Amino acid sequence: MSSLFSPLTYLTQAPKLAPKLSSYCDPQKGKDNNFNLLRFIAAFAVLFGHCYALLGRPEPLGSTLGMSIGSIAVDIFFVSSGFLVGASLIQRQSVIDYLLARFLRIFPALWVMLLLVVLVLGAALSTFALSEYYQDPQTYRHIAKSASLVTGINFHLPGLFHDNPYPSVVNGSLWTMIYELSMYGLLLLIWVSYHSLAKYFSRGLALCLTLLLGYFAYRTLAFRYILDARQFMHLALMFFSGTLYYLARHYIPLKAVVAFIMAFALALCAILDKSIFSVVYIVSLPYLVFSIAYLPSGTVRLFNRGGDYSYGVYIYAFPLQQAVVALIPGIEVDRLFVISSAITLFCAVLSWHLLEKPVMARRGKLFDFIKANLAR
């Protein structure tokens, strides 16, 4: 079967009667898009929003709109992730490759960041003596719990950032990682369930049973294991809207004029009627994300030559911002943004070129090794 839902095969293949319009979402073009740039900007938007939160200041957009720039950036991450991760699973048709790709993209860089934050940054800035810090069980609980992400995040280290305006929290950005992994699991469950059920039932019935199973899995995750069920529902909507855009990609033409109208309507609702802003936002954000990802071309695509620094920015920004706040009491938002951005970008670039990119480059060999040993 060529797609996740065979009843929607006509959506996932290039249709003969598809209108000849300007551009479509097409992950098969490889890296020739603006996803790296879009996620890079989103990561720095999260950093910018945290500059206010970590200084105990109201974030301008959040105080007027009720939705912070950081939360919008997280939604952009989830929409693009649902599209790209869903495309990877459906195109490659391999559970092993899917799990390996997700593992290599998330965990090696996360583990190195945790070790650097705990063993270097934490040890240097903790109010505890060095021997006390290293002997405190909380130090190792932080590593063990945060390293798996499955059982939640430990946000505290002994004696670290207690006097900051946003006290004690070492890396608040990691909360989204639990939701991200949950989406990966739900997507894989739906894909495997459909392909298994389709062997014994008609495709329509298999699809209905798969959706029912996916709903129960979602309910279990949202109301038993995830702390904020409403947040889980919102992020699931963002993630799977991205996946659905992939499935229907040949029938969703991307046009600059449509994107402009959507952006204008969104801005108008934000100013005049905040009660319907959230509805317009949910409908328009995925289209705007993919329009930015695929429509601008030319010089802007050169950003891809640098690398995908967004993940490094995201996981390093918060602890480095907290460190700057601790070292420079009374620092203002603009100065915090400039200093923490420079340090974070430096760490993100090193993380990409020295760790993330080399590790992911070995994915093919690791996949062949795992397949060979499973076959054996």
Alpha helices (H) in the chain, listed in sequence order: 9-12, 35-53, 60-65, 69-92, 95-116, 123-125, 130-135, 137-148, 175-197, 203-220, 229-247, 256-272, 277-294, 310-327, 333-351, 357-361, 363-375
Maximum distance among all Cα pairs of the chain, rounded to whole angstroms:
71
pLDDT of residue 99: 93
Three-point CA angle 94, 96, 99, nearest 5° = 105
Write out pLDDT tens, residues 310-344: 999 999 999 999 999 999 999 999 999 999 999 99
pLDDT tens digit sequence for 164-217: 999 999 999 999 999 999 999 999 999 998 888 888 888 888 888 888 888 888
7 pLDDT higher than 50: no
For the segment 263-280, what is each residue's pLDDT rounded down to a tens digit? 999 888 888 877 788 888
Taking the complete model, does pTM exceed 0.85, yes or no? yes
Spell out the domain ranges in the chain.
Answer: 6-24+32-375
pLDDT of residue 75: 96
**Which pLDDT value is given to residue 24?**
62
**Higher-confidence position of 98 and 19:** 98
- Residue 179, CB-side half-sphere exposure with 13 Å CA sphere: 27
Cβ-based neighbours of 313, under 8 Å, separated by 6 or more: 40, 43, 44, 47, 344, 345, 348
Q: Please give the average per-residue pLDDT across 81-108, as a whole number.
A: 92
Share the mean pLDDT of the chain.
87
Is residue 9 predicted with pLDDT exceeding 70?
A: no
Mean per-residue pLDDT, 17-41: 67
